[in-house]
Structure 1
């Protein structure tokens, strides 16, 4: 009995001690504001604790964020994840995150997750972070331009080997590409040139009619279509139909490691895959441009004769008078240039594609966009050059 009475106080005292110990080890986190800076205080035993950290009580953007873990007893990966979710948005908004008061292991893991400086140092200032981002973008831009220039150089070297009779290109491949890109493109080129020529002729004639100058419809349509419109339409049609096909074909070969197999066998991929496609569009470009110009002039004849009462022979005579050699040469040069740019864009994106279906699709889309951008830029430059030369 006495022994029991003596044990009871002892047990009661031990229970109180355990409750106090559990209370002091309970995980706790709170945000404190120190001027424009914020401090996240951590304490207690966070091992196995899955509750999220409290959100900051203010919507103000802090300049510096510091984590005070002096009272932290233990931690695990769950605390790392919670800290990352709290600190990463702040760092992304250029706040300086200080981790040096965390335990060494927690510092290292969180620093890697946040891509912050090594433990014991602070994050870079917002201005240096912006400079680093600009530098990274400039570096990526220059790498892309360098890759494009390198590809152009390889194509020129391949063309030189072909002219010297040392190329790996087969004439059967060239003939196949001409057949695929030329005759098969005639229907869509005819349709597009017909419709756009109809628009040009109708809108131009509507303005000329206000001044009683319907006889100049032939001059307007002939010069506009032959010199500018036909070449531009052919380039855009080839970009969507042929350039995308080039990128998809070569990109699929890269994904299947066929390009690597050619190089392993000693066959130059530029000679075997790129050169036939570039030469094919170099040949069919002016032919399709001339065909598109003829379609545009024909639809101009239909509009002038059928709607605005111009006699057929009068329209033909005016067209022949307006169709001078400089206009024809300029139109053919532009059509050839645009076609070659389409081939280069498609082959460049195909040779640069990744080794997955998604990468091949991205390369196909990029080839069309790049070809059209190149065409517009070069069209503007050539127009200015020829006008300055009075040609």
Structure 2
């Protein structure tokens, strides 16, 4: 079985390239490169394909590259004795221009240009976030007036997904965080014979900071990404456009129940995480430091008050709003492709985690200034 073969007869502009054998993608690609190099050195005017035994798109690609090279040299190529399918594909490739952005951009961007583009992108994303937040507030106002429409079954399913189904991962992380805090505190406090204060460390850290923060990060990675992926897939399938056509607001029907679900479930999950983190610290205190459960629990009650608990619940409430809005916003603004849905889910997780850290830092500064 013959492979890709060619023969060039050079006679000025009347030179001819004669192709024979099999011109398929499985054949040696170096043959095509060799033909292009020969054409650049001594151009020919005619290509004969009468002896070709088999062909596929690789042959059309070669002919198109030769034709583009000839156009750059203000030459004209003639194609003779080719199968009709080759000529039609070549004509189609000439007629349809390359889609803008389909190729890779090889231009190197300067550092200052990169910073400028990044600043503009972040600014636009911030404006988009606050606009989406405003639309969510308007949707909630319509709910209070009894004009927002969504299905109660959807809210029930979302509550189940964001609450009970999230308990296993919240349980695991909360217990481990409590254990880690107790280990870190025990190593330091044991030097001073103050092992009993491990209960204070674990209790205050879990109630004020770690319980709500770890729950928020878990829900941003689990639920925020799920919101973005589901709504983004609906965007791809044009379901959101169908809602608008039917006169149904996507903000009311899709976004509002998700915000309500997370606002309800986040404080509850935070309380659950606080208890499990304290119990995780109790395991280490009892097993490694010889404290009794009564001593540990009484010391925790003395250290933690309602101000600490309320602060954690308030942050969990705000984290729930932020996670729901970032997830739904990235889903609603998703492109109409599988890659765009994946990017939307990734952006939802990153934005949710960043907002959680920033908000928690602001709370730490404010509470420190207020002496809380």
TM-score (structure 2 length as normaliser)? 0.70
Change in Cα spacing, 1:140 to 1:300, as seen in structure 2 (3 Å) is closer
CA positional deviation for 1:144: 2.6
- Is 2:246 the partner of 1:265? yes
Match of 1:347 in 2: 328
Match of 1:328 in 2: 309
- Is 2:69 the partner of 1:78? yes
Change in Cα spacing, 1:156 to 1:298, as seen in structure 2 (3 Å) is same
More displaced 10-residue stretch of structure 1: 168-177 or 206-215: 168-177
One of 288, 292, 296 as aligned partner of 1:311 = 292
SS at match of 1:210: helix
After the TM superposition, which residues 248-259 of structure 1 pair with which residues of structure 2 at under 5 Å, given as runs?
A: 248-259=229-240
Change in Cα spacing, 1:233 to 1:133, as seen in structure 2 (3 Å) is closer
CA positional deviation for 1:311: 2.1
Match of 2:185 in 1: 204
SS at match of 2:147: coil
Change in Cα spacing, 1:256 to 1:212, as seen in structure 2 (3 Å) is same
Give distance in 1, aligned partners of 2:236 and 2:321. 25
Give distance in 1, aligned partners of 2:173 and 2:318. 19
Give distance in 2, aligned partners of 1:140 and 1:80. 40
Match of 2:342 in 1: 361
Residues 349 and 366 of structure 1 are in contact (CA less than 8 Å); yes or no, is this contact kept in structure 2? yes
Match of 2:149 in 1: 168
Give distance in 1, aligned partners of 2:181 and 2:112. 49
Residue deviations 1:134-188 (CA, integer Å, cap 9, x gap): 6655544433332222111111111111111111233332222111110111111
Give distance in 1, aligned partners of 2:127 and 2:370. 32
SS at match of 1:353: coil
- Is 2:139 the partner of 1:158? yes
- Is 2:285 the partner of 1:293? no
Give distance in 2, aligned partners of 1:214 and 1:131. 53
After the TM superposition, which residues 125-274 of structure 1 pair with which residues of structure 2 at under 5 Å, given as runs?
A: 138-274=119-255
Residues 162 and 169 of structure 1 are in contact (CA less than 8 Å); yes or no, is this contact kept in structure 2? no
Change in Cα spacing, 1:270 to 1:79, as seen in structure 2 (3 Å) is same
Give distance in 2, aligned partners of 1:245 and 1:172. 18
Give distance in 2, aligned partners of 1:134 and 1:212. 52
Match of 2:256 in 1: 275
Change in Cα spacing, 1:48 to 1:280, as seen in structure 2 (3 Å) is farther
Residues 155 and 274 of structure 1 are in contact (CA less than 8 Å); yes or no, is this contact kept in structure 2? yes
Residues 282 and 293 of structure 2 are in contact (CA less than 8 Å); yes or no, is this contact kept in structure 1? yes
Higher RCO (CA 8 Å, separation ≥ 6 residues): 2
Residues 129 and 326 of structure 2 are in contact (CA less than 8 Å); yes or no, is this contact kept in structure 1? no
Unpaired runs of 5+ residues, structure 1, are 1-21, 24-43, 50-74, 83-111, 114-128
Unpaired runs of 5+ residues, structure 2, are 1-10, 13-40, 47-65, 74-99, 102-109
Change in Cα spacing, 1:382 to 1:46, as seen in structure 2 (3 Å) is farther
Give distance in 2, aligned partners of 1:335 and 1:130. 38
Change in Cα spacing, 1:79 to 1:338, as seen in structure 2 (3 Å) is farther
Give distance in 2, aligned partners of 1:224 and 1:135. 39
Give distance in 1, aligned partners of 2:164 and 2:122. 38
Match of 1:27 in 2: none
Match of 1:121 in 2: none
Q: Give the RMSD, CA atoms, in angstroms.
A: 3.1
What is the count of residue pairs matched by the alignment? 289
Residue deviations 1:267-302 (CA, integer Å, cap 9, x gap): 000110001001100000000000000001111111
Give distance in 2, aligned partners of 1:321 and 1:297. 14
Give distance in 1, aligned partners of 2:178 and 2:354. 23
TM-score (structure 1 length as normaliser)? 0.67
Residue deviations 1:223-266 (CA, integer Å, cap 9, x gap): 01111111111011111211111111101100000000000000
Change in Cα spacing, 1:284 to 1:216, as seen in structure 2 (3 Å) is same
Compare CA radii of gyration and give the structure with the larger one: 1
